[in-house]
Amino acid sequence: ENEGLLLGKRVLITAGPTREAIDPVRYLSNHSSGKMGFALAAAAAREGAEVTLVAGPCQLSTPAGVRRIDVISANEMHEAVANALAQQDLFIGCAAVADFRPASIAEQKMKKQDGENEMHIALVKNPDILAWVAQQEGAPYCVGFAAETENVEAYARKKLERKGIQMIIANDVSNSDLGFNSDNNAVVAISADSEQHIATNTKAEIAKQLIALISSKL
């Protein structure tokens, strides 16, 4: 039932959360499961693509035929993406990259001090991997995700322009049955000249439909 829609194409996908170390035993992260990105990698491979999946820490098995590179932090993800970028036809940024990381990583476990009821951790901005890829010379077709809780389509369109990418896939995360960590999702895929709604379905089925849509744009 697969039609080889991506035969001969090279696809690079980021998935999962990133983990930003505070000290040797603590980190900042988020609840991304990686399911959507892994489903996209599986769907692209089934359509004949040569798929590289750069994955943050997540508990999912590698889809058949997919080359997987495991990373921890946003900086490591950025480096892995940069190293794999040559000759890619399509980049899908599906990872929930931490926006900020601790300005420095304490070498020893941080101790609580007697009488101290507040503690502050200075954060610095992480690189925007997707926007960076879109800016590279000969950049692939770039697809990003937008998780919004309101004005989903308007914010998504702004993100498309701000990041200089070709397609944004927006999902409404205010519906707690969908999105993060769920097996289901509902999305709208927006490009400069098209807007396609995909109704609630499994992430596997959404991924299959998104890959068909994206392959029609390459």
Binding site for CTP, by residue number, is: 93-95, 99, 109, 127-130, 145, 159, 163
Interaction pattern, residues 124-143, with ligand C5P; x per rule: CB under 6 A = --xxxxx-------------
CB of 91 to ligand C5P, least distance (A): 9
Is the Cβ of residue 48 or residue 132 nearer to ligand C5P in the bound state?
132
Residue 89: which of 14, 141, 166 has the closest Cα? 141
Extract the tokens encoding 113.
Answer: 């001090």
Q: Does 146 bind ligand C5P (CB under 6 A)?
A: yes
How many residues lie near ligand C5P (CB under 6 A)?
Answer: 14
Q: Give yes or no for a contact between 28 and 19, defined as CB atoms under 8 angstroms apart.
A: yes
The reply on whether position 145 binds ligand C5P by CB under 6 A is: yes
Which residues in 23-62 contact ligand C5P (CB under 6 A)? none
Shortest distance in whole angstroms from residue 127 CB to ligand C5P: 6
The answer to the question of residue 90 lying near ligand C5P (CB under 6 A) is: no
Query: Which residue lies nearer to ligand C5P by CB, 14 or 185?
Result: 14
- What is d(CA 1, CA 46) in angstroms, rounded to the nearest whole number? 10
**Of 42-50, 92-100, 116-124, 173-181: span binding ligand C5P (CB under 6 A):** 92-100
Q: At what angle do helices 203-215 and 35-46 cross, to 10 degrees?
A: 50
Catalytic positions are 30
Count other Cβ atoms within 10 Å, centred on residue 123.
Answer: 15
Assigned token pair, 136: 């590279």
Task: Check residue 20 for interaction with ligand C5P (CB under 6 A).
Answer: no
Give the DSSP H or E segment for 163.
helix 152-163
Distance of alpha carbon 84 from alpha carbon 21, whole angstroms = 24
Rounded Cα gap, residues 94 and 155, in angstroms: 17
Query: Which positions touch ligand C5P (CB under 6 A)?
Result: 14, 74, 93-95, 97, 126-130, 144-146
